[in-house]
Amino acid sequence: MSTQELVDREVIERVLALSLSKGGEFAEVFVEDRHTSSAMLDQRRVEELSSGRDRGAGIRVVIGDTTGFAHTADLSEEGLRAAALAAAMVARRGEGGTITVSLNTLSTFDTTAREPLGTVDKSRKIEALLRADDIARSTGAEITQVMVGLGESSRRILVANSDGLFAADHQVRTRFNVQCVAMGDTGMQTGYRPIAGTAGFEILTDEAVTEAARGAASAAITKLAARPAPSGDLPVVLAGGSGGILFHEACGHGLEADAVLKQASVYAGKAGQKVASDLVTLVDDGTTTGEWGYLAMDDEGRPASRNVLIEDGVLTDYMWDFLSARREGRTSSGNGRRQSYQHLPMVRMTNTYLVEGSETPEEIIAQTPRGVYVAQLGGGQVNTATGDFVFGMTEAFLIEDGKITAPLRECNLIGNGPEILQRVDAVASDFSMTPGTCGKDGQQVPVGTGQATMRLSGVTIGGTAA
């Protein structure tokens, strides 16, 4: 079923009119029909083949700075009218009179996935899981456990609002994770590699699956020899692709306009000011086809765009959704996203990356007498008001005399966003992206992060060794 057929145009126009009947200034209907499927291979057993479907609508009504919101799984006109009235409860200042809403011609976006969910035989999925398991185990006898997961989603969305906007998109995403456990004299260690894209099953080529399985297994085996990480301030070299999460946490969240407008970001009032080293040009870009954070349009019907946030160290702009932009009398930057129809949209990142520089990774490592080389970062967290952040090093090594030496046990890095931005002192040209899941106010959305190999002149390493 296509998105357009989920709810008739005339029904939506009547529901929008009803939404404004209590005095609301703006109303929006967001319809979503999402199919998901997952498969898990654990110790060579295929378990948890699961399929699911979520379908419903979220309706919001805005009056002044107040938003009313209701959602329903009932897509009949009756169900939508009930949700519209519930959302309109915030607009109790009076009657809106007789209102008519007429929608523009539907703008339709579509997926570029060649093998979206529903078109691939389940036995092919099982083959990919088993293949990853085989490769991981053949990497080394130390591998005692392999878990492989596949998740696919096909999400059709339809956005209509009282300004006449009427737009539909079909978003297809595929994610494949390999996790390995290696056993050695010092206990167990884990390794992890994801493959993910805003695309279909076609991204799981033999080469990609092999690389992920080998990578996860090798990482776990390497960490068996890990020694405790140092404690204290050291230069840190982040491998290409792995460190984008640093910028996502250290400044991305603080550049989201909702935090900025509430003066709850350390970057509020800093537009036009130097906030980072000259080497930092930071971009949020929803238009990078196929990347995990790619969108043709955001969840408010706004086409995605490429937004330069920091250019040569100067803060150029924040990221905006419909409401924050409306408050400032400007247009959204295409960053209004929501986890599902059951959630209100808010300002979210898409693919956030540091633009590459000109050095080589080898030069940067050779120019670092002592420090830490981070091959993979785990998740992170930031307090946007203070700028303090942490993120986990899941694969890291010591750098001694300009060479990568011993592997280190897992630990967190900690720092302050505005300070760390000043400490970027080398950026290479080996750019790559990593998929991630970003959580904000309880909502999870897929995002991409990226950078080339780069160095920070000093970061606090939260290890236990002197």
Build a one-symbol-per-residue string for 121-140: x at contacts with another protein by CB under 8 A, - elsewhere.
Answer: -xx-xx--------------
Q: Looking at 2, 66, 205, 405, which residue binds another protein (CB under 8 A)?
A: 66
24 neighbors 68 (Cβ within 8 angstroms): yes
Stretch that binds another protein, among 11-19, 193-201, 231-239, 445-453 (CB under 8 A): 231-239
Build a one-symbol-per-residue string for 332-361: x at contacts with another protein by CB under 8 A, - elsewhere.
Answer: ----------x-x-----------------
- CA-to-CA separations, 270 to 266, 276, 312, 313, in angstroms, rounded: 8, 11, 15, 12
157 neighbors 46 (Cβ within 8 angstroms): no
CB of 441 to another protein, least distance (A): 8
Short-list 194, 146, 156, 165, CA closest to 75: 156
Q: Looking at 210, 386, 432, 457, which residue binds another protein (CB under 8 A)?
A: 386
Q: Looking at 12, 20, 80, 90, which residue binds another protein (CB under 8 A)?
A: 90
Q: Looking at 210, 305, 383, 432, which residue binds another protein (CB under 8 A)?
A: 383
Stretch that binds another protein, among 9-17, 203-211, 382-390, 448-456 (CB under 8 A): 382-390
* Minimum CB distance to another protein smaller for 90 or for 297: 90
CB of 390 to another protein, least distance (A): 3
* Minimum CB distance to another protein smaller for 38 or for 210: 38
Short-list 28, 127, 10, CA closest to 68: 28
410: exposed, middle or buried (C-beta count within 10 Å: 0-12, 13-18, 19+)?
A: middle
**Token representation of residue 330:** 């400007």
Q: Looking at 11, 14, 74, 367, which residue binds another protein (CB under 8 A)?
A: 74
Contact flag: residue 406 with another protein (CB under 8 A)? no
Report the site for another protein in 193-212 (rule: CB under 8 A).
Answer: none
Stretch that binds another protein, among 40-48, 93-101, 193-201, 302-310 (CB under 8 A): 40-48
- CA-to-CA separations, 241 to 177, 217, 355, 434, in angstroms, rounded: 17, 19, 11, 6
Contact flag: residue 287 with another protein (CB under 8 A)? no
Q: Looking at 108, 287, 367, 416, which residue binds another protein (CB under 8 A)?
A: 416
* Minimum CB distance to another protein smaller for 39 or for 399: 39
182 neighbors 191 (Cβ within 8 angstroms): yes
CB of 366 to another protein, least distance (A): 27
H/E segment holding residue 195: strand 187-197
Q: Looking at 266, 399, 424, 427, which residue binds another protein (CB under 8 A)?
A: 266
- 162 CB-near residues (< 8 Å, 6+ apart): 16, 19, 20, 26, 27, 28, 101
Report the site for another protein in 146-185 (rule: CB under 8 A).
Answer: 181
Contact flag: residue 86 with another protein (CB under 8 A)? yes
Contact flag: residue 273 with another protein (CB under 8 A)? no
Query: Using N-to-C axis directions, what is the helix angle for 122-139 and 206-223, rounded to 10°?
Result: 40
CA 181 to CA 107: how far, in whole Å? 48
Report the site for another protein in 233-252 (rule: CB under 8 A).
Answer: 233
- Within 236-378, residue ranges assigned H as helices are 244-247, 257-261, 322-328, 361-366
**Token representation of residue 415:** 């720092």
CA 347 to CA 433: how far, in whole Å? 21
* Minimum CB distance to another protein smaller for 335 or for 412: 412
Contact flag: residue 436 with another protein (CB under 8 A)? no
Binding residues for another protein, total number by CB under 8 A: 79
Contact flag: residue 302 with another protein (CB under 8 A)? no
Short-list 214, 223, 211, 157, CA closest to 184: 223
Stretch that binds another protein, among 41-49, 158-166, 298-306, 352-360 (CB under 8 A): 41-49
* Minimum CB distance to another protein smaller for 15 or for 266: 266
316 neighbors 276 (Cβ within 8 angstroms): no
Q: Report angle CA 124, 129, 130 to the nearest 5 degrees.
A: 95
Contact flag: residue 315 with another protein (CB under 8 A)? no
Contact flag: residue 429 with another protein (CB under 8 A)? no
Contact flag: residue 11 with another protein (CB under 8 A)? no
Q: Looking at 2, 8, 44, 206, which residue binds another protein (CB under 8 A)?
A: 44
Sheet holding 443-451, edge to edge: 314-315, 306-311, 282-285, 351-354, 443-451, 432-440
Q: Looking at 391, 424, 434, 455, which residue binds another protein (CB under 8 A)?
A: 391
